[in-house]
Amino acid sequence: MLIGEVARQSGISARMLRHYDSIGLVSPTGRTHGGYRQYSEEDVRRLFQVEGLRSLGLSLQDIAEVLADLSFSPAAMVEQLVARTRDRLAREEELLRRLDQVRASDPEAWSDVLRTIGLMRGLEAGDPSARQRFALSLIGEAGRDAVPLAEAALGESDPHVAGALDWALARTGDGAVPVLAEALDSPVAERRHRALAALVKIGSARASEVLADAFRHPDPVVSGRAALVRAARGGADSVPALVALVVEGRDDVEAADALGGLATRHGLADEIADGLAGALASATGTARRRLAAALADVPGPRAHAVLTGLVDDPDPGVALTASFLLRERRSDD
């Protein structure tokens, strides 16, 4: 089959066929007496393999390697294609994000657009130290800088740059809080945790309100920090989450302090003592010692009774902790 006929039947231009031939990807195995390229059935079959792989997004170099590799795994190729497609979608989403940021800055003139683009470029510098210096140099305009700053903070992996961005965000006031609040529900854990850190850094009443409302979040990192914030605002419904933090040993010192604060300042001593006692009944190992220690700042007869019952606990650490706390209580009396 001559090149013109192959081009007509396959829909592939003769120019592309010649290119395939020149790079050795699909070369006709024969020539006519006149020197024209002549494709065999095997050549045409290979040609359609090439086109099929191109339709999946492979480069010509990748296709050559695939066809030359006798041990080639179709599953591995599909995984590579999935990864490349995700990368492409990520780049397109990044472009869309940038356009949204420019729009969110509510530009009134070309100078506003250029300023926002300059801000975004500075925040996306390749060198982390350059990004950090840029973030620290920002004066911050709440209405215009908050959104691009928030997006930069949410995507930042370098801890030093992230700290500088959180500082810059705090200077913009509450302008970034809606973006960060939305990011708390992101499917990407790193983005959720960066939003959490930024909201803690901002520390305003609005940021604290957002955090306090997230104390039942499915992400334990978010819910744990949110429970501490809710407790600081006097939220009695944070007690179970705080007890869980003590059991898990994650932010357990802060959680115990928060439980003590709720017990002494908000009249929740008995409820907290009951919660700790219930957790002690089912916990094991060092978690029981942390729970016993958490009773230190819980006043009242109920906490005293729980500690008294722990004096003869089979765990020496629990028993010693309970005995020490009871002695402290007697000395205070």
Least confident of 71-80, 126-135, 280-289: 71-80
Average pLDDT, the chain: 83
Q: Which of 39, 56, 72 is the C-terminal boundary of a domain?
A: 72
- Whether 182 is covered by a domain: the verdict is yes
Task: Please choose, from the candidates 53, 81, 78, the residue with its C-alpha nearest in 3D space to the C-alpha of residue 67.
Answer: 53
Mark whether 324 and 293 lie in a shared domain: yes
CA angle 270, 209, 196 (to 5 degrees): 100
99-113, pLDDT tens digit by residue?
Answer: 676 666 565 665 556
* Tokens standing for residue 227: 């429970």
- Whether 208 is covered by a domain: the verdict is no
Is 203 a residue whose pLDDT tops 70? yes
15-65, pLDDT tens digit by residue?
Answer: 888 888 888 888 888 887 777 778 888 888 888 888 877 877 778 888 888
Mark whether 42 and 94 lie in a shared domain: no
Mark whether 29 and 80 lie in a shared domain: no
Q: What's the chain look like in SS3?
A: CEHHHHHHHHCCCHHHHHHHHHCCCCCCCEECCCCCEECCHHHHHHHHHHHHHHHCCCCHHHHHHHHHCCCCCHHHHHHHHHHHHHHHHHHHHHHHHHHHHHHHCCCCCHHHHHHHHHHHHHHCCCCHHHHHHHHHHCCCCHHHHHHHHHHHHHHCCCHHHHHHHHHHHHHCCCCCHHHHHHHCCCCCHHHHHHHHHHHHHHCCHHHHHHHHCCCCCCCHHHHHHHHHHHHHCCCHHHHHHHHHHHHHCCCHHHHHHHHHHHHHHCCCHHHHHHHHHHHHHHCCCHHHHHHHHHHHHCCCHHHHHHHHHHCCCCCHHHHHHHHHHHHHHHHHC
Mark whether 66 and 94 lie in a shared domain: no
Residue identified by tokens 């906490």 is: 303
218-264, pLDDT tens digit by residue?
Answer: 999 999 999 999 999 999 999 999 999 999 998 899 999 999 999 99
Q: Are strands 37-38 and 30-31 parallel, antiparallel or unpaired?
A: antiparallel
Q: Which of 174, 201, 228 is the C-terminal boundary of a domain?
A: 201
Mark whether 49 and 115 lie in a shared domain: no
Task: Write down the pTM of the prediction.
Answer: 0.58
Mark whether 180 and 230 lie in a shared domain: no
Mark whether 239 and 315 lie in a shared domain: yes
Mark whether 44 and 26 lie in a shared domain: yes
Mark whether 238 and 121 lie in a shared domain: no
- Whether 35 is covered by a domain: the verdict is yes
- Whether 148 is covered by a domain: the verdict is yes
Domain that holds residue 13: 3-72
Mark whether 13 and 94 lie in a shared domain: no
Read off the pLDDT of each residue in 158-182 and give the average, rounded to a whole number: 82
Number of structural domains found in the chain: 3
Mark whether 54 and 83 lie in a shared domain: no
Mark whether 97 and 190 lie in a shared domain: yes
Q: What is the CATH number of the domain that holds 64?
A: 1.10.1660.10
Q: What is the CATH number of the domain that holds 219?
A: 1.25.10.10
- Whether 251 is covered by a domain: the verdict is yes
Q: Which of 201, 225, 248 is the C-terminal boundary of a domain?
A: 201
Helix H or strand E segment including 43: helix 41-55
- Whether 207 is covered by a domain: the verdict is no
- Whether 209 is covered by a domain: the verdict is no
